[in-house]
Amino acid sequence: MVETVLRGGVIGLGIGKSHAKGYRTSPDVELVAVCDTNEERLQTLAAEWDVPVRYTDYKRMLEETPLDMVSICLPNALHAEATLAALKAGMHVVCEKPMAPTVAEARQMLDAARRLNRRLMIAYNFRYRPDTQWMKNMVQSGALGTVFQAQVSWRRETGIPGSGWFGEKGLSGGGALIDLGVHVIDLALWMMGFPDVTTVSGDTRMLFGQRNLKTWGRHPGDRARDSFDVEDGAVGFIRLANGAHMLAQATWAEHTQPQQDDIRVELQGTEGTAVLHIRNYRNDDTLRFYTEMQGEPVTVIPSPRFGGPQGHEALIHDLARCIKHDLPTPTDGAQGLAAIRVLEALYESARVGHEIALEPERV
């Protein structure tokens, strides 16, 4: 156990703002350093948070500032590079999802963390909601019986990023699938106890983004963005070694209910079906459990208690506590790699037009 409060830092103050909130409210770690290439944003947020150490170059920050843990919140293509630098500097790392654009980079990150005896954690913030945790507990309790099918999706009616690196494959590694799909695929694998994946079949589409449609902050007739070379929708079929399978869908754009932004995870079991349905990030009415009692169908509507930290804030609290008290890492790099293996296989299947087989992952 570490007796003193840990020293934390955040690199990248886009989604990194959510990480920073966790550092600022945790009893186990304090935010002492932040980094962002946008000087104005850096100075504004650092002043608001009263953070004394500020950098526009993350390499300098890692070399010059002793930290116990650091959040990597950079474009996907930089996750491996920055993570390796932080691990080498002796820090535990919280890396934003996806862990990396490729399996090779993810394995390199995981291998380095093990070699250097540092923790590598992936920021799967949706695990830190009361409703997702209730559903996982239901699976673990046996209430669903044997889970034989998972259906997962994150579907947006208008959700193509209007600017930034998300539409550039060289920086993002992909579009809707790697941005949204990674979350719901991880949730299902996590709830099911990470069964091995045997085969993957996928398809992707690019129908809206290249035409400047369904894009946040833009309208038909606006000048198209300079670069957009990623998919705005994807589907997948995933076979699991335990005999179950998963149907997955991720869309940034489609013609459906206006302003729809829905996350859905359905697990069907021999004794019951549990459904998580988060509409537009709301916390109310997100769960259903279907089963039979005395030969009749029954619908249960759970009402998990929301309140206090959740999402990224709760994740940082949990990870700092686990580091300080030497507890098992709840969102470790091996779990991050599991999702990347599925994503890479889905993209490869879409490219070659047939199913991809996966070998069991080496430990």
Q: What are phi and psi of 151, to 5 degrees?
A: -125, 120
Report the pLDDT value the prediction gives residue 219, as an integer from 0 to 100: 65
> Average pLDDT in the 148-166 region?
92
Position 314 pLDDT exceeds 60 = yes
**CA-based angle 188:339:99, to the nearest 5?**
130
pLDDT in tens, 112-141: 999 999 999 999 999 999 999 999 999 999
Q: Read off φ and ψ for residue 265, nearest 5 degrees.
A: -130, 115
Q: What is the pLDDT of residue 230?
A: 96
Report how far apart, in Å, the C-alpha atoms of 328 and of each of 69, 281, 322, 362 are: 15, 29, 6, 20
**Alpha helices, H only, 120-213:** 130-141, 169-172, 176, 182-191
Task: Give residue 113's pLDDT.
Answer: 97
State percent of the chain over pLDDT 70: 96
Mean pLDDT rounded to a whole number for the chain: 95
Length of the chain (residues): 363
Structure tokens at 213: 């449609």
CA 114/CA 335 separation, integer angstroms? 14
DSSP E strands: which ranges in the chain? 6-11, 29-35, 53-55, 69-72, 92-96, 120-123, 147-156, 197-205, 233-240, 245-251, 261-269, 273-279, 287-293, 296-300, 356-357
Query: What's the CA gap between 358 and 360, in Å, rounded?
Result: 7
Residue 262, phi then psi, degrees to nearest 5: -120, 130
Average pLDDT over residues 244-267: 97
The tens digit of pLDDT for each residue in 136-147 reads: 999 999 999 999
Per-residue confidence at 334, pLDDT binned at 50, 70, 90?
very high
Q: What is the pLDDT of residue 3?
A: 67
Which residue type does 178 have? I
- Answer yes or no: is pLDDT of 363 > 60: no
Q: Which residues contact 47 (CB under 8 A, 6 or more apart)?
A: none
Q: Could you read off the pLDDT of 190-213 as tens digits, one per residue?
A: 999 999 999 999 999 999 998 888
Domains within the chain, CATH numbers bracketed: 6-126+311-330 (3.40.50.720), 130-305+341-357 (3.30.360.10)
pLDDT at residue number 217 = 73
Question: Taking CA 353 as the corner, what is the angle to CA 224 and CA 173, rounded to the nearest 5 degrees?
Answer: 45
Residue 360: band (very low, low, confident or very high) from pLDDT cuts 50, 70, 90: confident
Q: Are strands 147-156 and 356-357 parallel, antiparallel or unpaired?
A: unpaired
In degrees, rounded to 5, the angle at the alpha carbon of residue 345 between the alpha carbons of residues 344 and 348 is 90
CA angle, corner 58, sides to 53 and 64, nearest 5?
55
Q: pLDDT per residue over 220-234, tens digit each? A: 666 666 678 999 999
- Average pLDDT of 183-187? 98
SS percent in the chain: helix, strand, coil, step 5:
35, 25, 35
* CA gap 318, 336 in Å, rounded: 17
CB 207 within 8 A of CB 170: no
Quick one: which of 13, 346, 361 has its CA closest to 182? 346
DSSP, res 253: B
| Per-residue pLDDT at 2 exceeds 70 | no
Least confident of 42-51, 69-78, 205-214, 331-340: 205-214
Residue 172 scores a pLDDT above 80:
yes
